[in-house]
Amino acid sequence: MIRCKQAVRAQQIFAETTVIYILVTVFLETGWVLHGSAIPESKSLEPGLLGLDEMSDCLHRFLFEQLAARGEIVRLAATWQSVLERRTYPPAVRQVLGEAVAAAALLSATIKFDGLLTLQIQAKGPLRLVVVQVTSERALRALARWDGEPEPAPLRDLCGDGTLILTIDLGQGREPYQGMVSLRGNTLAEALEEYFAQSEQLPTRIDLAADERIAAGLLLQRLPGADADADGWNRLGALVATLQPAELLELDTLILLRRLFHEEDMRLFDPDAFFYRCTCSRERTAAMLHTLNEDELRQTLDEQGTIHVDCEFCGHRYAFDSIDIAGLFAGSTPDTSTVRH
Ligand SMILES: [Zn+2]
């Protein structure tokens, strides 16, 4: 077993407490094996001591090895704040968008390499569109479209007739996977549980919460295979049923896991860190313009002098003048060295 520098440093810091050192080493190198009844209330599990006091914007995966069940928990602060900085959302829209951000983070946990997960709600009600995208680097961006000033309401009333669509682009030239389900239920979590019930046949429980500071979520999924503990899945469900949205929003991730599952044997893996990043670029915007009608673009140029394209995710504005457009349709690459506002 090769120790990384942090583990060695942790050994120096915690040399007087052997148990703590072992936990830190395992955590840093392979994941964190938590044996429920042995989880101490000592400082050894305080994230600050691990240099991980900012547990926000991390997703933790965990496994109940005796129960054929897995889980994920995520709590996004800076990433969610970056989404909110770009537009003022009515509270009802912000609530659903925050829950969708947490959900997309949870569902992206398994994408790798140059993959991309897109969670969409397309609907006909006051809240017409929600889009959240997460790359395999855990870069996230999100947007919503709505009419008027929607009042807080159950999801099916806020969105009306609608569809929940999940698209997973696996990258590397592979065919994207897309699944969809009619939007039902009072909450996005209920809609996603319905999605899993229909598409994956794996019992899945999802809890989501969002406010103006935090977007957070918890996912539990039963895995195929025999359960050594016949009542295990029901017991996990009963534990999670006690979870309040305020706990997801307020509590440190590891403390929350300990509260919920302190009597279960659980393996906790290294966290994935999330961050906000929009994937728009001048090149992509030019490529989009190239798909449009050249004559109409030239007409717009004649009328306005410049074509402005705003990224709906991040608000960034790209400008193209007549020389850019001429170059675009002449087959040459437009000047992408500068981004003009
Ligand atoms: Zn953008």
**Alpha helical stretches, state H, the chain:** 5-13, 18-29, 78-85, 91-107, 155-159, 188-199, 232-241, 245-250, 253-261, 282-290, 294-304, 322-329
Checking DSSP bridges between strand 116-123 and strand 127-135, what pairing results, if any? antiparallel
CATH class of 58-247+271-276: alpha beta
Cβ(138)–Cβ(273) below 8 Å: yes
Residues 201-239 pLDDT 10s: 788 999 999 999 999 999 999 988 766 677 889 999 999
Instruction: Report, at the CATH architecture level, how domain 282-329 is classified.
Output: Alpha-Beta Complex (3.90)
Ligand 1 centroid distance, CA of 207 (Å): 29
Ligand 1 midpoint to CA 173 (Å) = 24
93 phi, psi to nearest 5 deg? -70, -45
User: What's the 90 CA to ligand 1 centre distance in angstroms?
Assistant: 21
Cα 258 to ligand 1 centre (Å): 38
Give backbone dihedrals phi and psi of 237, rounded to 5 degrees, phi first: -60, -40
C-beta of residue 120 within 8 angstroms of C-beta of residue 165: yes
Instruction: Spell out the domain ranges in the chain.
Output: 58-247+271-276, 282-329
pLDDT tops 90 at residue 138: yes
Could you tell me which residue, 176 or 281, shows the higher pLDDT? 281
Q: 50 pLDDT band (50/70/90 cuts)?
A: very low
Separation of CA 297 and ligand 1 centre (Å)? 21
More confident residue, 145 or 199: 145
Residues whose beta carbons lie less than 5 angstroms from ion ligand 1 = 278, 280, 311, 313-314, 316
Strands 162-169 and 177-182, by their bridges, are: antiparallel
Distance CA 264, CA 258 (A): 9
Q: How far apart are CA 193 and CA 188, in angstroms?
A: 9
Tell me how far the alpha carbon of residue 313 lies from the centroid of ligand 1, in angstroms.
5
Q: What pLDDT is attached to residue 231?
A: 85
6 pLDDT above the threshold of 50: no
